[in-house]
Structures are given as C-alpha cells and as structure tokens.
Chain A
Amino acid sequence: MSKANTIAPRDTAAPRNIGTMLKDLDWRRYVIYIGFVVVFLFFAVLLRDQGFLSPQNLLNIFRQTATITVIAVGMTYVISCAEIDLSVGSVAGLSSVCTAMALSQWGLIPGILAGLAVGLVVGSINGALVSLLGIPSFLVTLGMLGIAVGVAQWITASAPQPILNDTFNMLFGSGDFGPVPGLVVWSAIFVAIGAVVLNRTKFGRQVLATGGNRNAAEFTGINTKRIKFQVLLISGMVASVAGMLYAGRLQSGRFQWGAGDELSAIAAVILGGTSLFGGFGSIVGTLFGALLIGLINNGLILAGLDSSQQQVVRGAIIILAVALARKK
C-alpha cells in the first residue's frame, strides 16, 4: 500500500501508549460500571456491620430493582431511538388493576391477557400519535401518563383490587425458582432478550440508526415511522408486564403501583450510558444503572437515612453520574 493513500489517521490512531489509550476510552460508556463498583465498595466498607454484604440483602437489592429493570429495558429502546416514554409508570399501574379485575372475574389466562392488552392499546396509541401525526413523544406520553392513571383510579374507584390466585402470584413476583427469586428471573429474561435484540438483530440496528440519524436511516431504506411506532409499542408492552409483576408481588392491583417509575427508569437508562439524543443504547448498561439506583436506595436505608434524605442523596448522585457521563 502506498503511503499517500493513508490519510492521516488523526482520530483512529492505534493507541501508542497507555496515556492515549485512556484518552481514547469512551468514558460515557463505562462510567456506569466504574460508578457501580465504587458505590458498592463504599457501602461494603461503610455498612459492613449493618449486613450490607449478606446474601439476603444482596438478593433484596435485585428483587427491589426488578420491576424498574424490566421497564428500563423497554425504555432503552425508546431513548436510543431518540424518543421518550413518560407513560410507563401509569401503564404499569393500569395493567395491575386490569389484571386483578380480570383475574377475579374470569381466571388466570384472561387476567394475564388483560394486563398485556393494556400495554398493547396504550403503546399503539402512543406510537401512532408519534409516528403518524408527528406529535413529540414527550407530549403524547405525558398526556398518556395522566390518562392511564386516571382510568386506573376511575374503574377501581381508587380501591385496591386483591388477587387471590396463588398461581398468578407465584408466577409474577411472589415465588422463587429454587434459591432464585422469581423477580430476578423475570428481569434476567428481559435483559437477555433485550440485549440480543438490540445488538444482534436487524430490528435493533434499525432502532439505533433511526435514533442516530433519521435521514440516513430513511435513505438506507428503513421505515423510520414504523420503527418509532414499534419502540413505543414495546415500551408499553414491557411496562404492562412490569405492572403484573407489581400485582403478583404485592398480591393486588392498585393504581398507585408504578407511580414515578418513569423517572427511575429514565435515570437507569441514562446512567447506563444510552444517549439521550439517540443512536446508542446499552441494555447491560441499563441493568447496571437500575442496580446502581437500587444499591443506593438500599445503602441509604441501611445507613439509617429517612426517605426524605434518601431522595436528596439519590437525586444528587444521579445528576453527578450524568454529568460525568456527558458528551465531551
């Protein structure tokens, strides 16, 4: 190869030493793992006498973050497609009450189908309004947040809907698979499927391309409207499953289940390194983002902070992490 053909490789030079290697490292993508380890070690030392490292406590962290993890997997698709879904928390709430009501009326399968139907309907409406009418997803899903929680409150007259079906409760959240809590299995399944689909399938690649440069995606023959519809549909469906996990774990359907989860899920996704401007998404990062939030919650409880103080510390840590992970 002649020398003249080698265009000065300013940006992609092979790292010559550790210094340039560190400089070339994309911090945004790894800050979550570093942050996770740092926070974990910090609590491990500080709270060693409060039982932070006990297997029971560690499993608890997983269990407490499971629903957020599931919701955040769907949210990763939405955000890496340069959209947002604020309705996920109230979709979970609506799904929990619909499941509970259908369960007591018609039994197990209709109950599950009712929950999924909530996600199907809400996700389709969100997706259609965004992709067909071109309304910003922020506004569509903000409106849907109110509608879904309002409907859930309305049809139940604000009353909790108990679930007495043990099979359902065991399956969705209350039961264990051997030593492993069912909730952990659920989130593992969602993370695994989510990661493979996003990284290794055409659909996943098209989601990233649409989020990264919609024009380019169109020119390459990708139907970006359909992709935007699909990510919002996925997000709604996943949120409805999360609602059933709430229902199973707490053995009831209630409109408050999932309230505020959209913020935790978005925080988990952004902490995990997914770009808020679209084009890059990491499901494994999202898992660690959710775990980090769970870790912080758990540590702060063990440290004896009350819930108001927890909120302050949690907010500060999220801002700090996102500031560290921002684009240069």
Chain B
Amino acid sequence: MNTADNVVEMRSISKGFNGVSVLRDVSFDVRKGEVHALAGGNGAGKSTLMKILQGVYQADAGEIIIGGKPTVINSIHDAKAAGIGMVFQEFSLVPSLTVAQNIFLSAEPLGAGGLIDDRAAVRRARELFAEMEVTVDPQAEVSRLGTAYWQLTEIAKALSQDAQVLIMDEPTASLARHESEALFELIDRLKERGISIIYISHRMDEVYRLADRITILRDGSRLLTEPLTNVTPEQIVEGIVGKKIEGELAYRERDRVDHEGAPLLEVRGLNAGRRVKDVSFALRPGEILGLAGLMGSGRTELARALFGIDRRDSGDILIRGEKVSLTSPQQAIDAGIALIPEDRRAQGLVLDHSVRDNLLLPLLGQIKRGPLLDSNKGKDLSSSLIKKFAVKVAHPHRPVRLLSGGNQQKVVIAKWLGTDPDILILDEPTAGVDIGTKSEILDMIRELASAGKAVIVISSEYPELLAVSDRVLVLKDGSVIRDIPRSNIADEEYLQLAVQGV
C-alpha cells in the first residue's frame, strides 16, 4: 500500500517535558477506513502521541502529514479543521443542553434574523444518527442519558464536523457488554464509510475484534506496527508489559497465611449495581488479596460496595462469620473496614488543612475530653502516627497540599490506620507516587498483614500487585473469573493474559 492511502501520517515525532524525553522518533500512520489499535503500558507515550495529533501539545521534532499535505496542528481547532475528531469520555458535552444542541454547539444552524434554528439542528442530528444507524433522541437532555449515549453524541458531533479520523480512548471502559457490542458494530459501519479510527485499548479481545493493524509503544519508542493477523496475544502482552520488575517490587514470602482458619471477611454472591455481579470470596487474617482487572471491570465498585457507599442488591457480607449490613461508610468503619480511596486528593484529604488535622479527622472520638477536643492528646496522637509511618513533613502544622504525592498517600493510610481497622481496602495505593515511596508503602502493607489485618489491594500496576498479593482475584465485567494463588503466577505476562481472559 502506498502512502497516498494514509489519511494521517506522523513522522519521527519526538517530545519531551522539562528535559525528560517522553516520545523518541515515533512514526505512526493511519490508512483510510482502517481501525488502528494503539497499545502500550502506562507511560509508554500513547496519550502524549494522541495529544500531539489533537493539537493539545506540539511535537519538538517530526512532522504531521494529513491527506498527503504537511500540516501544522497548533490547537484543538487546527486538529478539527484537519478532520481529526476526538471521542472524549464525559468531557466535552454540556449536560444541561440537549443532544442536538451539543452536537452543533458553536456551529448552530441559523434561521431567520440570525436566530438559532433548533428545529433544523434536531433534523440534522436525526439524519446523523440515521446514518450511524443508532437510535438517539436528539431532543433529550444529555444529563438524563447513560454513558453509551454520551459517546454516540460525541461521535455524531465529530462526524458533523466532517471528521475523517476518530480517536477513541478506552471507549468501552464505562459501557455494559451489549453497549460495547453496539459500539463495535457502529465502528464497523464507520469503517465502511471510509472513516479511520485510532483505537486505544488494553483489551485484547476488542483489539482482535476491531483492529486491522496495531502499533505498540514502549517507553516512548515504537516497538512494532503490524497487521493483527501477524501478531499473537503473547507478543502484545510482552510489548505492553515493558520493563522487568524492579528489585524493590519483588514478591517477598511472608509468614504463611492460615488457610484453614476462619475467614475474617467473607462475601457470598454479592450483587451491587451493574458492575458487581455474583462476587464471592473469603479473606483470612494476615492475607493480602490483590484485585486485578481492566478499567471498568468492577474493582473500584466492589470496594465501594464493601465500604457501604454503593447499595448492595443481593448477597451477603460476613465479618468473622456474622452477617453484617453495610449501608453507609460509618457502618463499615464501625464494622472494622477502612477504605483508602483511589483519588486521594479528591476523596482522601482536605488539602488545605494541616497534616495533623487530616490525620485526626477520623479519630476525633479518641481525643475528646468532655465535649471539647483535647489538643495535647491530638498532638501526641498525630506525632506518633507521623513517626510510625515516616511521613516526611517539616511540621505537622503544614498544609497537606505541600507534601509530595507519596507523603500525601502516607497521610491517607496513616489516617485510616489510626482507627485500627481489621480489614483494609486500598484502591490504587501507589498511583502517582515515586518509586522509593512506592516500596515504602508496599512494605507498610506487608507489615499490616503480618500484624494480622486482612488487606485488599486494587491496582492496575501488575508488578505492584504481584509484589504484595498472596492471592489475586481477576475481575471481568463485574464477575470474578479467576482466583489464583500467588505461587501459581509465574510472571507479569501470566497475569496479563489472565486479566485479558485469553
């Protein structure tokens, strides 16, 4: 195939941030009517490459050729004009406007006297959806629609602007299975119309179902670009896995968990919402259970259900053999469960408050004297927590905002451990944390388990999961598909394949 068939060609793109090279000499091309999968591990440079194509970043070196002509893309506007469309997730729509109003936002059809002709917009939106062969009510307010419709609206919006190339980033992450299938059929039809799609996904089955070719990035360089028929799933996984596990993150055998003993936490046939389906498992004192799964597999939702945030539809949760009803976080805390949430800045900390105040927030009951708070007790308690968890802070009075990501995370963990929970759930405990602090946090998790606590670790970083877990539960579409003891997991690739369900 000659280059004239390429709708987009990115040649020898390099990009760095603050002297750190993120992309090195990466070439990437998309042919007309092709689905081109883009894969790579975290930090491989996928999103940077796409942001350059979208005009969010500018490349340091290299050129972009669109429709055979060298093109300068300096803004999102330039990208749109060049026919590059993006399908964001819940990002570029205005919830309070209707579907049609969103599609034509800033490009409204005008009628008599320069006034917006909403009827024409609705009519044209209907035509667009008819071409896409999907049913969406153009007059529905977006906030009242589900995620699948947001996506269809985004696609229609891009098509209305004559996009020739659509970038889809993990488009099925928040879709139910039948919705994903409908999206795949739509992608097939778009292909037939000559529209090209850059499909970013970690899901092997989707990549094989949809893509014509795949490009794998690794550490900022292109590893390969091949037709899907030429690559095996193992090759893709190998490409995604990237660097070998650092010594710091290696698995360390701890005192053996008493697998015959009574479980501390038992979950039987738990259903909650549409992302937790018939989940059963048992967790014993001293055990670390890893939860693995792709984005949208229900890991976080399972944690939320256990912590009483999401309503349980059916099934039982037993703590020390007794059924408990957890309908609020307060009840979960009282039952001895602590959840360290995924987004620590939004959910775990009051950033402008001092380290001390943050630490003491769940412990106010312990430092009361009569109706008032005893500030001396508070000082002692917070100082002992800071010391115990080696939080690096000049003074407990300093606001948490000023701490590094790793130390912030330590404050979140310390805060919850102050309540002395028996069961600890950590959702992405080392996200955005430097490698040194990462191993400290993992050590902390091991110590807690050795002290007899039961720990659940959710992580999308497999090396980390493998470093601490005694057992790994693999979730897919809200159900447990595998329950593997750590000793049966040879390496990261094995786990990757298990998560993909290959």
A16 within 8 A of B: no
Stretch at the interface among B33-41, B130-138, B190-198, B257-265: B130-138
Contact of B92 among A202, A208, A216, A280 (CB under 8 A): A216
The distance from the CB of B412 to the nearest CB of chain A, in whole angstroms, is 27
Contact of B106 among A7, A221, A275, A278 (CB under 8 A): A221
Complex CA–CA separation, A10 to B76 (angstroms): 34
A-B contact pairs, 27 of them (CB 8 A): A2-B133, A4-B178, A4-B182, A4-B185, A5-B182, A5-B186, A7-B135, A7-B149, A7-B152, A8-B178, A11-B146, A11-B149, A12-B145, A199-B116, A205-B101, A205-B108, A205-B116, A208-B97, A212-B96, A213-B93, A213-B94, A215-B91, A216-B91, A217-B94, A220-B105, A222-B105, A279-B97
Would A5 and B105 be within 8 Å (CB), given that A12-B140, A213-B95 are in contact?
no
The distance from the CB of A291 to the nearest CB of chain B, in whole angstroms, is 24
Contact check, B93 vs A216: say whether CB atoms are below 8 A apart.
Answer: yes
B394 within 8 A of A: no
Complex CA–CA separation, A200 to B108 (angstroms): 10
B5 within 8 A of A: no
The distance from the CB of A185 to the nearest CB of chain B, in whole angstroms, is 22
Contact check, B137 vs A208: say whether CB atoms are below 8 A apart.
Answer: no
Set of chain A residues within 8 Å of B114, measured between Cβ atoms:
201
Contact check, A280 vs B135: say whether CB atoms are below 8 A apart.
Answer: no
The distance from the CB of A90 to the nearest CB of chain B, in whole angstroms, is 31
Set of chain B residues within 8 Å of A205, measured between Cβ atoms:
97, 101, 105, 108, 116
Contact check, B92 vs A220: say whether CB atoms are below 8 A apart.
Answer: yes
Interface residues of B in 75-130 (CB under 8 A from A): 76-77, 88, 91-97, 101, 105-106, 108, 114-116, 118
Complex CA–CA separation, A205 to B98 (angstroms): 11
The binding surface of chain B is classed by DSSP as loop
The distance from the CB of B220 to the nearest CB of chain A, in whole angstroms, is 26
A6 within 8 A of B: yes
Interface residues of A in 214-233 (CB under 8 A from B): 215-217, 219-222
Q: How many contacts A-B (CB < 8 Å)?
A: 101
Set of chain B residues within 8 Å of A37, measured between Cβ atoms:
none
The distance from the CB of B480 to the nearest CB of chain A, in whole angstroms, is 25
- A196 (CB) vs chain B CBs: closest residue: B115
- B137 (CB) vs chain A CBs: closest residue: A12
B144 within 8 A of A: yes
B148 within 8 A of A: yes
The distance from the CB of A216 to the nearest CB of chain B, in whole angstroms, is 5
Q: What 10 A-B pairs are tightest by C-beta distance, nearest first?
A: A279-B96, A212-B94, A212-B96, A200-B115, A280-B96, A213-B94, A216-B92, A209-B94, A220-B106, A219-B92
- B113 (CB) vs chain A CBs: closest residue: A200
Set of chain A residues within 8 Å of B145, measured between Cβ atoms:
11-12
Q: Which of A2, A11, A206, A215 has the most CB of B within 10 A?
A: A11
B181 within 8 A of A: yes
Would A212 and B182 be within 8 Å (CB), given that A5-B134, A11-B146, A200-B115 are in contact?
no
Interface residues of A in 1-60 (CB under 8 A from B): 1-2, 4-12, 26
Complex CA–CA separation, A74 to B92 (angstroms): 27
Complex CA–CA separation, A95 to B307 (angstroms): 57
The distance from the CB of B241 to the nearest CB of chain A, in whole angstroms, is 34
Set of chain A residues within 8 Å of B146, measured between Cβ atoms:
10-11
Contact check, A5 vs B135: say whether CB atoms are below 8 A apart.
Answer: yes
Q: Convert A274-311 into 0s and 1s, putting 1 for each residue whose CB lies closer than 8 angstroms to a CB of B.
A: 01001110000000000000000000000000000000
Q: Convert B171-205 into 0s and 1s, putting 1 for each residue whose CB lies closer than 8 angstroms to a CB of A.
A: 00000001101100110000000000000000000
Complex CA–CA separation, A113 to B282 (angstroms): 78
Contact of A279 among B95, B115, B137, B182 (CB under 8 A): B95
Set of chain B residues within 8 Å of A5, measured between Cβ atoms:
133-135, 182, 185-186
Would A209 and B97 be within 8 Å (CB), given that A201-B114, A222-B106 are in contact?
yes
Complex CA–CA separation, A52 to B306 (angstroms): 60
Contact of B148 among A7, A219, A220, A278 (CB under 8 A): A7
Set of chain B residues within 8 Å of A220, measured between Cβ atoms:
92, 105-106
Set of chain A residues within 8 Å of B133, measured between Cβ atoms:
1-2, 5
Contact check, B105 vs A7: say whether CB atoms are below 8 A apart.
Answer: no
- B104 (CB) vs chain A CBs: closest residue: A205
Would A215 and B182 be within 8 Å (CB), given that A7-B149, A201-B116 are in contact?
no
